[in-house]
């Protein structure tokens, strides 16, 4: 029976450690992981200076003077927060925000949160929206190490992967009789396992892009003085409510 071979193949996948490896978000090539002290030392090696009293690092990042804080959960780093040190006017912050969006969109290490551009229009009244409506301006991207696929919608990409491997497995199994499927050979199980393993790993990669490797930035400030704060997050180390 087809169900039997699928169960056998999945059992082999789980026992072979298909879920053992994972990638985490990186900041300046440094994994957002490990202890806070280790992260501070690695950032100091990149040229940032550490102010122990303020518990912040200072230096230049992507052409701007910034401060950096290292946030932890359970003594593991889960987020790097980068904040502009120089305030900007409303027009200047719009330009800076849009420049960052364009930089991320043109970097093949990132996939945008949505198909439509996340840039701000010239007609957007940032000052009014923040002060009167407490609006948050944010751009969200997913970080990964492979070349960017042709798809710009990550949910569409997930669906494509699932359908692709389901079709491939169905076509492979269709060549066998019911009797053969009832008593599959080791080769049949191994080939089915490879197809399923590709599917599982692809879906896991897409899920990681969605929930575990997020890089985003937002506009802070008010009354004509604004700044950008960026966040590089490792969702594997984020608080998940298990301590409640």
What digits encode the pLDDT tens for the residues 109-121? 888 887 788 999 9
pLDDT > 60? residue 172: yes
Higher pLDDT, 89 or 176: 89
pLDDT > 90? residue 178: no
Query: What are the angstrom distances between the C-alpha of 32 and each of 118, 142, 214?
Result: 25, 14, 11
Mean pLDDT computed over 144-160: 56
The pLDDT, as a whole number, for residue 154 is 57
Task: Indicate the pLDDT class of residue 168, thresholds 50, 70 and 90.
Answer: confident
208-227 pLDDT per residue, tens: 666 788 999 999 998 889 99
With vertex at residue 70, the alpha carbon angle to CA 66 and CA 75, rounded to the nearest 5 degrees, is 175
The pLDDT, as a whole number, for residue 26 is 95
pLDDT > 70? residue 10: no
Alpha-carbon distance of 97 to 101, in angstroms, equals 6
90-111 pLDDT per residue, tens: 999 999 999 999 999 999 888 8
Alpha-carbon distance of 104 to 19, in angstroms, equals 29
Mean pLDDT computed over 35-46: 98
Task: Indicate the pLDDT class of residue 148, thresholds 50, 70 and 90.
Answer: very low
Mean pLDDT computed over 139-153: 63
pLDDT > 80? residue 12: no
Query: DSSP character for 150?
Result: S
pLDDT > 70? residue 2: no
The half-sphere exposure of 74 on its side-chain side, counting CA atoms within 13 A, is: 9
Query: What are the angstrom distances between the C-alpha of 216 and each of 47, 82, 90, 100?
Result: 23, 11, 20, 10
The pLDDT, as a whole number, for residue 18 is 42
The pLDDT, as a whole number, for residue 158 is 64
Alpha-carbon distance of 135 to 221, in angstroms, equals 11
With vertex at residue 162, the alpha carbon angle to CA 157 and CA 164, rounded to the nearest 5 degrees, is 90
The DSSP bridge pattern shows strands 110-112 and 138-143 to be: antiparallel
Q: What is the percent of the chain where pLDDT is above 70? A: 81
Contact 201, 193 (CB under 8 A): no
Mean pLDDT computed over 15-35: 76
Higher pLDDT, 7 or 148: 7
CA 103, distance to chain mean position in Å, is 16
Q: What is the mean pLDDT of the chain?
A: 84
């Amino acid at each position: 029976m087809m169900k039997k071979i699928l169960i056998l193949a999945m059992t082999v996948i789980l026992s072979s450690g298909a879920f053992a490896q994972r990638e985490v978000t990186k900041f300046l090539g440094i994994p957002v992981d490990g202890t806070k002290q280790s992260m501070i030392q690695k950032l100091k090696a990149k040229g940032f200076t550490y102010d122990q009293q303020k518990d912040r690092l200072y230096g230049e990042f992507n052409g701007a003077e910034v401060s950096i804080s290292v946030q932890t959960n359970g003594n593991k780093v889960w987020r790097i927060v980068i904040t502009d040190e120089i305030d900007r006017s409303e027009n200047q912050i719009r330009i800076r925000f849009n420049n960052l969006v364009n930089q991320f969109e043109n970097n093949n290490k990132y996939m945008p949160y949505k198909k439509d551009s996340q840039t701000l229009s010239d007609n957007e009244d940032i000052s009014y929206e923040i002060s009167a409506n407490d609006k948050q301006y944010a751009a969200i991207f997913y970080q990964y190490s492979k070349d960017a696929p042709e798809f710009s919608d990550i949910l569409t990409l997930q669906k494509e992967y699932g359908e692709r491997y389901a079709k491939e497995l169905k076509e492979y199994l269709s060549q066998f009789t019911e009797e053969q499927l009832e008593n599959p050979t080791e080769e049949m199980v191994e080939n089915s396992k490879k197809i399923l393993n590709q599917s599982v790993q692809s879906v896991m990669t897409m899920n990681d892009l969605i929930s575990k490797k997020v890089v985003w930035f937002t506009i802070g400030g008010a009354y004509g003085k604004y700044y950008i704060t960026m966040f590089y997050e490792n969702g594997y180390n984020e608080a998940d409510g298990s301590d409640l």
